[in-house]
């Protein structure tokens, strides 16, 4: 059976259209599965939460494009569990509040990788003395050895935290930004090799949750 030129042209157009869809899906898959690579290679990361959202979900952006989401789930009486997911819903890291093993800490959270293996801890310390006032966060490795510390910068219009290693090298800066209808934080990445960048994302959500809780009690 002979095919007319019209049918051949239509067949070619259909094949080209199907091929473009498959390519788009492949590109989308590559983007989502490389979430940690993107986070580690980024110089700036934005974390946003809508003012009108009834859930605890935060959107993660790099260069204006959404790359993932941090979801807050009620887990047990200790508190919520934070989960970092890519656009396909694959879990890359999570954080769960646990019982304190250091008396100077007001809050302690255990951090897990995508395989639900413990990779570190984040501890919150409230400091109130003549020279300092605010919250200090301590970051520990899986063996409970401290690797980094975050301190609040004072005399800023919007809250700002700087994370440093134990030698004083700046690793990250977390700063709240003015934004209409959204709570927005900007994370500046200086060195992601000491402290995993996903733990800085969790810190950002913790900071905002504490801020919202403080407002509710006022």
Q: What is the pLDDT of residues 13-27, one digit of tens each?
A: 645 544 444 444 434
Residue 65 lies in a domain: yes
Whether 22 is covered by a domain: the verdict is: no
Q: Is residue 9 part of a domain?
A: no
Q: How far is the C-alpha of 84 from the C-alpha of 86, rounded, in Å?
A: 7
**What per-residue confidence (pLDDT) applies to 74?**
59
Number of structural domains in the chain: 1
SS3 40: helix
Residue 207 falls inside a structural domain: yes
Q: Give pTM, 2 decimals.
A: 0.77
Q: Tell me: the pLDDT tens digits for 37-87?
A: 999 999 999 999 987 666 679 999 999 999 999 998 755 545 678 999 999
Residue 198 located in a structural domain:
yes
- Where on the phi/psi map is residue 89: left (φ > 0), alpha (ψ -120 to 50), or beta? left
Q: Which domain holds residue 173?
A: 34-217
Question: Is residue 140, in this structure, part of any structural domain at all?
Answer: yes
CATH number at residue 90: 2.40.160.200
| Region for residue 81 given its phi and psi (left: phi exceeds 0; alpha: psi -120 to 50; beta: otherwise) | beta
Query: Is residue 210 situated within a structural domain?
Result: yes
For residue 15, tell me if it sits in a domain.
no
């Amino acid at each position: 059976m002979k095919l007319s030129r019209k049918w051949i042209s239509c067949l070619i157009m259909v094949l080209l259209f199907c091929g473009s869809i498959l390519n788009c899906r492949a590109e989308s898959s590559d983007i989502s599965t490389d979430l940690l690579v993107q986070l580690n290679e980024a110089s700036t990361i934005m974390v946003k939460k809508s003012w009108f959202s009834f859930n605890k979900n935060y959107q993660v952006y790099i260069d204006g494009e959404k790359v993932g989401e941090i979801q807050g789930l009620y887990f047990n009486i200790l508190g919520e569990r934070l989960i970092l997911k890519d656009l396909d819903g694959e879990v890359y890291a999570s954080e769960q509040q646990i019982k304190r093993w250091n008396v100077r800490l007001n809050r302690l959270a255990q951090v897990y990788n995508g395989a639900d293996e413990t990779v570190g801890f984040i501890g919150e310390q409230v400091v109130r003395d003549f020279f300092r006032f605010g919250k200090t966060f301590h970051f520990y490795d899986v063996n409970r050895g401290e690797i980094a510390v975050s301190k609040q910068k004072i005399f800023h219009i919007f809250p700002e935290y700087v994370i440093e290693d134990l030698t004083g090298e700046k690793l990250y800066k977390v700063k709240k930004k003015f934004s209409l209808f959204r709570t927005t934080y900007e994370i500046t990445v200086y060195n992601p090799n000491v402290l995993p960048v996903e733990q800085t994302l969790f810190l950002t959500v913790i900071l905002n949750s504490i801020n919202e809780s403080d407002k509710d009690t006022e």
